[in-house]
Amino acid sequence: MDREPDDSKEQHHDLILDSLQEGVFTVDMDQRITSFNRAAEVITGVPRTQAIGRKCFEVFRADVCETGCILRRTMETQTPLSNMPVNIFRADKKQIPIKVSTALLRDGGGRVVGGVETFRDVSEIKELRKAMLRQYSFEDIVSKSPRMQKIFALLPQVAQSSSTVLIEGASGTGKELVARAIHHHSLHQEGPFVAVNCGALPDTLIESELFGYSAGAFTDARRDKPGRFALAQNGTIFLDEIGDISPSVQVRLLRVLHQKVYEPLGSVRSVKTNARVIAATHRRLDQMVKEEKFREDLYFRINVFKISLPTLSERQGDIPLLVDHFIERFNRQKGRRVSGVSRKAMHALIEHDWPGNVRELENVLEHAFILCGEDFIRLEDLPVQMQAAAASVTGPDGKTLRDIEKTAILQALSRQDGKKMPTARELGIDKNTLRRKMIRLGIPPTARCS
């Protein structure tokens, strides 16, 4: 039987490559392009005749090509890579996002003679993700959880009223973001938004900060100084961590809410205020009322409409959405073009316990932006303590870290007869962290043995 000529084989090979919707090109050991299919021409805008023989980074012109070329890494480590996000510049200088996979080219004897890269344009997918972000957002708050969606639906109505609002939630859940969103949709939106962290101010200062003072009220008070209520006139004052204020300040604040007037320190003249009050706390104020640590009448005054924000561990499905949101923001702020996170990094983010909630996630991604030298965030760009959370890493017996963590907690519970505080102490973690881990790992609250 006659053998097919080499040029016929090459034509057949080109026809197959040209039938693919994904861009495909091959390089030799010097990273010069040896083949370039039709889809590659369409995606890059570079004709095949201009691509063949050139270095691949001259065709793609991406930052990653110079600092950490994915195909070069595959050829050096002999490890294929899959679906890596990269931004490239087309021939018309338009930047587009692509997903890249790489593999080695070997000759008949098994010797590496080059590499092959396949890639696809994910611009439409990225636009869909942006559209989804817009769909699942209210102002700068992002969530698709049913609980948060109910809050989003209520916020416009709450904003249009002039009633006092109480926002409850753990630290880092976004209480100030909700307060700002209410202000921006309120009748006071043209006025100022003045935030006060009551927990950060000592008792000796908080009254003068809130209500101001008159000249001569105390030593060094040489002239009148307006307080935060005066600065918030015709706008909104946000009293964060209101559960931390002293009983004396609670009394003065109650009068402001009841009569809409206050006296600056050292003054006998009452000042009217029309500032809308939004309060927030990470504490259970109803419990503090029962313990007589917070005035019941003040609690009723600020609790006209209450919004309770869930922790991030209670809305884990939002993590990929929030990651996209923060990456987009940091790209704008830092002039970067990070496309996303690797699969391992995302798994580590999802597996983390998030005691610091959304604020902690934001800080983790900012940390990753500092270390990330490529177009995507890798597992090693995350804080060290989070890298061990990647479920793809297994122990010596083949169990995942999730399995190992669950077993360790169950065994500790067994040794401590199911008592949570001694178990947390043995494991070296906080009691609340233990509770969140048990929920995430599906360990019932009454568990006593492994």
What pLDDT band is residue 396 in, cutting at 50, 70 and 90?
Answer: very low
Rounded distance, CA 1 to CA 97, Å? Answer: 48
Per the model's pLDDT, the better-predicted residue between 320 and 127 turns out to be 320
pLDDT per position as a tens digit, 119-160: 988 887 777 666 766 778 888 899 989 999 999 999 999 999
What pLDDT band is residue 394 in, cutting at 50, 70 and 90?
Answer: very low
Domain residue spans of the chain: 6-121, 146-308, 312-387, 401-441
Alpha carbons within 13 A on the beta-carbon side of 42: 13
Q: How far is CA 372 from the centre of its chain?
A: 16
User: At residue 361, does pLDDT exceed 90?
Assistant: yes
Under CATH, which architecture does the 146-308 domain have?
3-Layer(aba) Sandwich (3.40)
Per the model's pLDDT, the better-predicted residue between 416 and 394 turns out to be 416
DSSP string, 60-119: H--HHHHHH-HHHHHHHHT--EEEEEEEEE-TTS-EEEEEEEEEEEE-TTS-EEEEEEEE
Fold type of domain 312-387: Helicase, Ruva Protein; domain 3 (1.10.8)
pLDDT per position as a tens digit, 162-215: 899 999 999 999 999 999 999 999 998 999 999 999 988 888 788 888 998 877
Q: Which residues, other chains included, contact 259 with Cβ-Cβ below 8 Å and sequence gap of 6+?
A: none
Q: What is the CATH number of domain 6-121?
A: 3.30.450.20
pLDDT per position as a tens digit, 269-307: 889 999 999 999 999 999 999 999 999 999 999 999 999
pLDDT at residue number 50: 92
pLDDT at residue number 82: 79
pLDDT per position as a tens digit, 52-92: 999 888 887 776 665 667 888 888 888 888 777 778 888 88
pLDDT at residue number 407: 81
pLDDT at residue number 1: 45
- Report the percentage of the chain scoring pLDDT > 90: 43
Helix axes 401-415, 420-427, angle to 10 degrees: 130
User: At residue 322, does pLDDT exceed 90?
Assistant: yes
DSSP code of 54?
S
Find out whether 74 and 80 touch, Cβ atoms under 8 Å. Answer: yes
Q: 401-441 domain in CATH 1.10.10?
A: yes
Q: In Å, what is the CA distance from 379 to each residue of 213, 336, 341, 365?
A: 53, 19, 8, 11
- pTM, full prediction: 0.66
User: At residue 448, does pLDDT exceed 80?
Assistant: no
